[in-house]
Structure 1
């Protein structure tokens, strides 16, 4: 009977060594008690650039940038690992060619049965791509938040121009038309009154445009005040409203508040125009360095499904606009509804351009 192949036993020393040697995504190697490299796997060669014959026998401090060497970081890490059993870190490391990469590192102290330190196991993973992606996300968010600020500034300027120029000019025309109505012959009076009505309706439309460009509530002190004012407008129309902010730990920054208010405003406009709801609730919660908002109504609901930022046939533009606003600043948006069961609009917006985990949908 032939001897069993040790590699047939997955727990044998040879099998484990073969596994460690074959791993490509992690640098896995051993250090002696003084921090000298004693083993080297293929992942370590791929990540750090050293061949086994180049690095075995050298101190592991060769992987650290000059500022970490001056701070005594390699010795500190071994000291902590010895005292606590392990050490975990994330930071810059240096390849054989001198280039840097961002690494997640775990050092584990290895003791024998008598408690004697026999060395250290070190596992390093190159997460440069992850860090680069996070930095790009932060930069995109910063750009989008600046864009929101610029858009709001332009909206404010246009609103002021319309209010100070167009509306005032039309108001002057209205006054002159009313004066003319008292002076014209009776047979011309219907035409003059029709003109006065047209001018008044135009002024009304312009004022509505100003309110949509820059609602006065946006200039109030907090987001909750602005949303509360919007809900009071619905309440005046007979819709029961509720604003829940018990889990809002602080008012979001102005740039985030603008985006939140715009989306809430669009959602409440949909409730007012389409839902035939008797009750609507807005809930604001601070979570994952951002604000999670839920707008719930008991209206007629909808079978519209919004996927990838675009509605299925039959949806209206407001749904897409809400989603695009949230996603533009690194957040997300969703609509949960079915006919006859009301609707839930739920979205998350980060507090600012910094990295945030977001909330799973």
Structure 2
């Protein structure tokens, strides 16, 4: 029976030996009490590279690094196993080829029944891959921490599940002004505005991030010094492997300057669009006014001749006068269109503003009615400004009428002036020089922002159907801009309106404008006049007016034809030519005629102001539409 037990133990030992030898993922071997290796399995051979015959009888310390051997770690491991019944640790070990691997080591003491130490069982596992992964992760985490800490354009920090800060980077310190020790451990709601805290925004932020996986928004936040900044905020929840909420990652960026820059860009784009729109409408208005001036020239000229022919019939005269008044109303409309388009003929000269206002105050008061009080406020020594007297008077009348209409129950209109240099405050920064601000203020209904934004658009009016053309303010705007000034409209609902006309100061020594009355029709000898106009109706009307005055007329429908007729008619005393003609303009024709006969008088007829260079800029102008008296006066001036 004893023999059977002995045989059985031998079989078990053999099986255990086979099992240990079959293990290749662990180095399992025995060492005696002195540390000498007494057994060696396949796993040990695979890990450490030694054959069993090479390693049996050698001390196990050869697997340690030189540093660990000098530190006595092999013996310390055995001592710990004896003292504590087990040693377990990790460290670098050395293979036969000299390469290192990271191992997990367990050493158990082997004792006989009497407690005598027989040796040690040593199990080693190669954990190099895990160690390298941990080192890589550690390095990555360190690099990430360094990266986060070095970011200064973003506030990057962590929150615990309840919203308390757990860390703080340099960007957060720069943007919000707090040092780490001032905020870590405190609730992130401290950065919100009082109104947002009262509305529960911090709690809503974390709730959305938790439930939806992310929170992103823009809002105002508060710095340590109390100033506010516009922040772009992203909050992401951080979940553990078991689905537990560990906290939140929060990234904040100060977008105040970016947002302001975007708003400024949008405003610039809107201003550019508005300028392009006004330019296009101005060109259209100028073209329409030019064509209307040609038509009105024909109508007024023919009405004038017919009236002279039928002056003895009062009924017909009344009809003609009525038709003339209608045509003159059309002239007023085209003048407003040209003023808006900045293509009217301006006679810019020094104007004494107090004297001008005093001169038209009677007309203004009679136009405003008894329920409106007119006040004027001018400081002593107001400098003269450069302006067209007639157009400035018309602009003041327009503004005063608008002010009256804005005060249906009466009120006060104040006309005043002040002087200023060009600056951002008065929107004159783009043009240098000194200006006088002539303003017309009322105590009326005022305008809301939408109405004020469109007030100077052509044909925009708040008046009823048939009560306004919508060209009054646009005319004033175009007129002031053409003078080189600025027209600024200020208004608030129920707080009245102020219209400011910034006019350039006249040069020193310039004489103020004087109105010269024309007492009599100039006496002009009979002339041979060459008339050129590509519009046959205007050409015929002009010829009829000249013939009615007793002049001999030669007509042409183009600049080329006019030049040919001038070359073959040496008796021509005067040339009247339209400015805007195809192929050869009036200015080009005038230049060609001057080369043939330098002393011949030339008059340029035009429906709007055109920029001319050279000698043509000094030629007399005949503005369309014109009357027979205008024609006589212009001819008299040209023949001097």
Q: Highest relative contact order (Cα 8 Å, sep 6+), 1 or 2? A: 1
**TM-score between the two structures when normalised by the length of structure 2:** 0.29
Is the radius of gyration larger for structure 1 or structure 2? 2
